[in-house]
Amino acid sequence: MSTHYSVTGRTAILRIDNPPVNGLGHATRKGIAQGLRRALDSTDVDAIVLTGREGSFSAGADISEFGTARTTAAPSLGDVIAALEDAGKPVVAAIDGTCLGGGLELALGAHYRVATSSSRIGLPEVHLGLVPGAGGTQRLPRVVGADVAADMISGGAPRTARELEDLPGQRLFDRLVDGDVIAAAMELAVEVAAVRPLPRVRDLSVGRDDTAAARATHERLRRRSRGFVAPAEALALVEKAGTTPFEEGLAEERKTFLELMNGEQSAALRHAFFAERAARKVPDVRPKTPARTVDKVAVIGAGTMGGGIAMTFLGAGILVTIVESSREALDRGLDAMRRNYQRQVERGKLTADGLEQRMALLTPTLDYADLSDSDLVIEAAFEDMDVKRSVFTRLDEVAKPGAILASNTSTLDIDAIAAVTGRPGDVLGMHFFSPANVMKLLEIVRGAKTSDDVLVTAMAVGQRIGKTGVVAGVCDGFIGNRMLARYRDAATALLHAGATPAAIDSAAEHFGFAMGPFRMADLAGNDIGWAIRKRRYAQDPGTPREEISDALCEMGRFGQKTGAGWYDYAPGGREAIPSPVVEELLASFHAEHGTKLRTFEADEIVQRLVFALVDEGARILDEGIALRASDIDVVYIAGYGFPRYRGGPMFYADTMGAAHVLSGLRRFHGDDGWEPSPLLMRLAAEGGTFN
């Protein structure tokens, strides 16, 4: 039974009990409807309290039902809510913990609501590419006003009951308590037992705050959801709540909900959601493998990455020892962290006390002996094998037995690093992305000898510090950067064939990438790739030259930091302005090489970029570097700005069909010697999919 019915005095208590999150699957909906009917039919009952489990009123729809007949099987959530709202006896919702999505819609169908102040209230459907489908877009604006509702529904972020209670004119809660919510709801039920007519949310009018600030919020919401359909639909429905009769708004909401549910974006977003869950499991590791305890962390190197990594742990309240090789580098690193925190304080994201609390958890040192009590050490020193070897030799001497030794290397061989220690089972890669305190992705690189509990611990630590962890095998570039190299090559090939940086970036951004490849290169710094190329040219004179990129760097156009790169920038500015210098550079390259100039449609540009990712992803999958295609999708969404509403490169390839991807790649590569990945060829021949 996923609902329980009991009577105390003359009040019926209807309790939803469907662990873990009180999802409103078919059996639960039926249980609520039957319980309500029983209470209404009983002459011993005057009022009904509808509640959930401690910590969860209900987290909403049961998404594992999506796409099955059970989602639509009667009674629908809309039917249950209508029955509550039209009930002839008062219904009081008693809310504790999560009250999200369908759970909040259900509560809005009750006549009264009592909540604990810490309850989390929200309509997060946009994250799955949907709008609320059981009246949320029409009822929430009636109790919190159109503007707050627009923000909550189109942004999807939950708020605490306390925050909502403090809004002027809110009518969402009748009472807020810090203790026993059921007792408070029972009390209210007795008080209102004889009230008629019963208050219904649908009968309220929509308040709105037509101020410049509210309009700015809407504008921000619209901008933030570029390319993403559900948030814009949500805004339109909230508008409707204020301008059309309730029933009409409800019908419109239903129609939009069903369209979105059957659309591509929701399918992609649901894939992304399940992909992130799947990434937390490693098939060949015993499910209940215990993680090691991690209370104290040490970071080696206080540079760009070390500082960001340290901040990530400090933000989670974890003690960090940071080790540098010189006093100057240590001071520089600490200054950079403090300045970074200071900027957060200025932007109102951190309090001055918060800043000091974080810094107080940090122990800076020049002495490796100070990390002897650390449970996890993350090395972020220079990207040089000799440096890594000497650091890990030293770590092996000073770290306590059982400490986990991780490297943040982006390209070097974890097995070779592990081999210099007497404990290769304790070594693995923890590859963060820049800026490490902001970017969600964490590649957890499993060496040949990494023990299972070390892997499990690194994954658990990743979750604790709010990262999206994905397990990768050892190879140059792991999952993300190895694919990125192919993506960059495709961008360079387009440039050589006559497309402009602005055309390429605009196509990529229109597709939904956070930033096109050239704007991204200007942000990251063109000199980094140049240094790597120069090393390769020296090592192997046969390496093909990236003439245009090299020429750009020879002019000192390293990107935003030098005020010029693939684009021009106003002093200190970030806006990319197409550059006549680059135009000239391209023109002379094309003249010299006799490029047959042609125009590139945005579609072709996107396919060249994305199919390159897919081809390399297929190799990574085939070689077992990634455990599943969906892990690759997670890497690209969390770490590389791939539009989440397209599900990641491998999911996108599945929607296109492997044969289509393969024939596109063949066309784009012509006779340049490229061979398709064996897996892509197999799938194209069989009509199979990656995911």
**Active site residue ranges:** 105, 125
In angstroms, give the least distance from the CB of 534 to ligand NAI: 17
Q: Any bridge partners for residue 5, and if so which?
A: 14
* Nearest Cα residue to 126 out of 244, 226, 41, 233: 233
Provide the mask over 536-575, with x wherever binding to ligand NAI is found by CB under 6 A and - wherever it is not. Answer: ----------------------------------------
Within 317-336, which residues bind ligand NAI (CB under 6 A)? 323-325, 329, 333
Three-class secondary structure of residue 469 per DSSP: strand
Cα 47 to its chain centre, rounded Å, is 42
Q: Which stretch binds ligand NAI (CB under 6 A): 123-131, 162-170, 296-304, 537-545?
A: 296-304
Q: Which of 59, 114, 230, 305 binds ligand NAI (CB under 6 A)?
A: 305
Q: Which stretch binds ligand NAI (CB under 6 A): 177-185, 193-201, 299-307, 398-406?
A: 299-307
Within 411-440, which residues bind ligand NAI (CB under 6 A)? 431-434
Nearer to ligand NAI, 2 or 410 (CB): 410
Which residue's CB comes closest to ligand NAI? 303
Provide the mask over 368-397, with x wherever binding to ligand NAI is found by CB under 6 A and - wherever it is not. Answer: ------------xxxx---x---x------
In angstroms, give the least distance from the CB of 428 to ligand NAI: 14
Residue 41 · residue 87 · CB < 8 Å? no
Three-class secondary structure of residue 320 per DSSP: strand
**How many residues line the site for ligand NAI (CB under 6 A)?**
25
What are 233's two structure tokens?
Answer: 């639909």
Nearer to ligand NAI, 383 or 415 (CB): 383
* Residue 122: how many other CB atoms lie within 10 Å: 24
H or E element: which one contains 11?
Answer: strand 11-16
In angstroms, give the least distance from the CB of 455 to ligand NAI: 19
Q: What per-residue string of b and e applies to 208-229 under the rule 16 or more CB within 10 Å gives b? A: beeeeebeebbeebeeebeebb
In angstroms, give the least distance from the CB of 462 to ligand NAI: 15
Q: Which of 28, 409, 468, 677 binds ligand NAI (CB under 6 A)?
A: 409
Q: Which of 304, 363, 500, 506 binds ligand NAI (CB under 6 A)?
A: 304
Nearer to ligand NAI, 436 or 665 (CB): 436
Residue 253 · residue 139 · CB < 8 Å? no
Nearer to ligand NAI, 372 or 500 (CB): 372
What region does 235 belong to: left with phi over 0, alpha with psi -120 to 50, or beta? alpha
In angstroms, give the least distance from the CB of 434 to ligand NAI: 3
- Residue 300 is a binding residue for ligand NAI (CB under 6 A): yes
Tally: H helices and E strands in the chain? 29, 20
Q: What is the amino acid identity at position 461?
A: V
Nearer to ligand NAI, 35 or 306 (CB): 306
Dump the DSSP string for 393-462.
HHHHHHSPTT-EEEE--SSS-HHHHHTTSS-GGGEEEEEE-SSTTT--EEEEE--SS--HHHHHHHHHHH
Q: What is the amino acid identity at position 548?
A: I
In angstroms, give the least distance from the CB of 566 to ligand NAI: 19
- Residue 512 is a binding residue for ligand NAI (CB under 6 A): no
Nearer to ligand NAI, 316 or 398 (CB): 398
In angstroms, give the least distance from the CB of 156 to ligand NAI: 29
- Residue 607 is a binding residue for ligand NAI (CB under 6 A): no
* Residue 619: how many other CB atoms lie within 10 Å: 19
* Nearest Cα residue to 582 out of 568, 561, 601: 568
What are 608's two structure tokens?
Answer: 């060249």
- For ligand NAI, the binding residues (CB under 6 A) are 300-306, 323-325, 329, 333, 380-383, 387, 391, 408-410, 431-434
